[in-house]
Amino acid sequence: MGLTDLAHSVAVVTGAASGIGEAVAQRLLEQGASVVLGDLDAARVEATAARLDADHPGRVSHVAGDAADAGHIAALIAAAPGDVDLYVANAGVFRGFGLEAPESEWATGWDVNVMGQVRAARALVPGWVERGRGTFVSTASAAGLLTQLGSPTYSVTKHAAVGFAEWLAATYGDQGVQVCCLCPMGVRTDMLREGQTSDDELGRLAMRSVVSAGATLTPLDVADVLLEALAAGTFFALPHPEVGTMYARKAADADHWITGMQRFRTSLDG
C-alpha cells in the first residue's frame, strides 16, 4: 500500500535548496505536508524556505548542514513539527572523474551519497517499525542502475545507494516501512549545468552521456513521478521510463550491454 495521503504528514528533504530537492518539497507542501528543508548552502536554503513559506505559511522550516553528518540529521528530525513520516534522502555530490580520481573525492562521494542515507535510516527506521509506518526515499540516479561514464565515484556510490535501498525494503518493507528509490537521468539542475562546464574533460563527457541518453526533465517533472510512485507503492520511481528497459537489457545480457556502452563512450569522444 502506497503513501496516498500527504495532508498533515511531516517530511524531511535533504539537498532541498534547489533542484530535485526543492521541487519535491514544493510538491509535498502542495499536498498539505509540513516540510523541513536541509542543505549545505545556508543562504540558499534559507531563501528557498522563505519562498516556499510565502505560499505555505507555517509549514516550512530549514536547517543548514551536511546531509552526511549524523548530528545534522538529528537536527533535521528535531526541527520537524512532530514525528517524521517521510524522509527524502536527496542530497548528493557528483565529483571524481576517471581512474585517477583522488581518495578524498571517493571518500566524499561515499559519505554523502551512501552513508548519509544509512545514518538517516538508522535514526528513523526503528521508530517507524514501532509505529508501523514511515517512508524512506533514496535519490539514487539512473547511474545506480546503469553506469556513469566519466565518473567511477558517482557510478559506484549510486549503485551502493540502490543496494542499500533494496536491502532496506527487503528487511523492513513488511514491517510498515515503505522504501522508494528515485532514479532519474538528465534533470535541469545545478549539478548538470556545472558538469557541462567542468574544467575536466571527463566531467563534461559524463554530462554529455546524460543529456544524449534521453530527455532532460525539469525538477518538478521528477517530483511528480516520485509522488506517483509513492502513491502506487512501487520501489522504483523512474522519471525516464526507458531506464527500466535499459536496466532489464543490462541484466539479460551484460556483455552486450558493456559493448554498447563502449560504443556510446566512443561516440561521445568524437
Q: How far out from the chain centre does Cα 217 lie?
A: 15
Among residues 201, 238, 197, 203, which one has the least CA distance to residue 217? 238
The Cα-based distances of 54 to 50, 58, 59, 216, 227 in angstroms read 6, 9, 10, 29, 22
Is 154 designated active site? yes
DSSP one-letter code for 139: E
Largest CA distance in the chain: 56
Name the residue with cell 502506487: 232
Q: Considering 87, 154, 172, 247, which one is annotated as catalytic?
A: 154
* Collapsed DSSP state (helix, strand, coil) of residue 22: helix
Quickly list DSSP for 167-228.
Answer: HHHHHHGGGTEEEEEE--S-B-SHHHHHHHT-SSHHHHHHHHHHHHHSPPBPHHHHHHHHHH
Helix axes 70-79, 116-131, angle to 10 degrees: 40
Q: How far apart are CA 145 and CA 89, in angstroms?
A: 17
Q: What is the dihedral of CA 124, 107, 161, 82, to 10 degrees?
A: 20
Tell me which residues are annotated as active site: 154
